[in-house]
Amino acid sequence: MDRGGCSLSGGGGGERQASERQETGSQSGMITLEELESLSEDQILDSGNGSLEEGEIVEGEQDRLLHYWQDIARGHRVEVPRDMAEPIQQLTTNNNGTHNRETVPFTLISRKEKVRIHQCKSMTGLGGAVGLQCGDVLYEKRNYKKAYWACITVKEETYEQSICYGFMRIMRYICQQNSLGSYLGMTLPIVTVLRTNEMHTTLSGAVTVAYYLPSQHQAQPPQPYDTGVVIEQWPATIVYTRAFTGATNETIILNEINILAELLDSPELYVTDSFIVASYTNPAAANRENEMWFFKRP
């Protein structure tokens, strides 16, 4: 497995092919990041009795959660090791409890919206005027301040294996395998740094998964026990972003890259071979919320 550093300014790289299991995951025979990121407690407990109280580890429940993940992963050529039992349990109970998911802060610089022409009729119906109104947001330009992120770059045999193994190692860091020995809390979005060829027709093999450290840990980031997880202070960065919903497989990612490139219509504005897919929504949601990020050239 290869690993390396990552940076919001375009370092690291990889491809991200993750789709809802019922749509493509089971067909591809591989587990997806969405399946690993969070699972509904109701889904996991649906086949048995009892439920978890917030923060409580019910006897045998860790094994049950672990086996649930392992059953999914086995058919996808991903092995979920025994030491993932506690991180899985913590992430599940905390995500279904009172822990709020902090959003990565940014400053909105500008917003490009689709302009629509509409006809305003008079009350008498004898005439009217043509007017303009703003419609859908085409893209936004944002400023993200410098901040600490935990990231890991991996390259496994398949893209989805890279995503899964990388994210599991980030999960261990979030769930106590850090110098504080405590659950750090989830933040949104979880980002994946991607690299493409010049024509934006293929994604590279390596994947960088990155997690923004919650605000209370920014001044003194907890250090990971896993030497493959790197804590880096990413510089202040301006990005162009476009929202999209649904699955995030390779075909969709490449399509979204080309859509935003066409909207910007100025390759000199942005880095053309390194991008980010940012994911915000619980994978169980019917319309998953994602964003494509382009880095503004210095």
Q: What is the pLDDT of residue 237?
A: 96
> On the CB side of 2, how many CA atoms lie within 13 Å of its CA?
16
- DSSP count for the chain of H helices, then E strands: 7, 11
Q: Which residues of the chain have pLDDT under 50?
A: 1-5, 11-33, 36-38, 40-42, 44-57, 120-126, 130-132, 283-285
CB 55 within 8 A of CB 93: yes
DSSP-derived pairing of the beta strands 237-245 and 128-144? antiparallel
**Stated pTM of the model:** 0.74
Q: Give the pLDDT of residue 45.
A: 47
**Could you tell me how many residues make up the chain?**
298
- The pLDDT, as a whole number, for residue 167 is 83
Buried b (16+ CB within 10 A) or exposed e, 62-93: bebbbebbbebbeebbbebeeebbbbbbbbbb
Q: Please tell me the predicted confidence (pLDDT) of residue 248.
A: 72
| Rg, Å, the chain Cα set | 21
Kindly report, residue by residue over 207-254, the tens digit of the pLDDT: 899 999 999 999 999 999 999 999 999 999 999 999 999 877 778 889
Contact 40, 26 (CB under 8 A): no
Beta-sheet pairing, 187-188 with 102-103: parallel
Give the DSSP H/E element, type plus range, for residue 71: helix 61-74
The DSSP secondary structure of 179-225, one letter per residue, reads TT-SB---EE-EEEEEEB-TTS--B-S-EEEEEEPPGGGSSSPPPBS
Sorted by where each starts, the structural domains of the chain and their CATH numbers stand as 21-28+143-296 (3.20.80.10)
In the prediction, which pLDDT does 259 show?
96
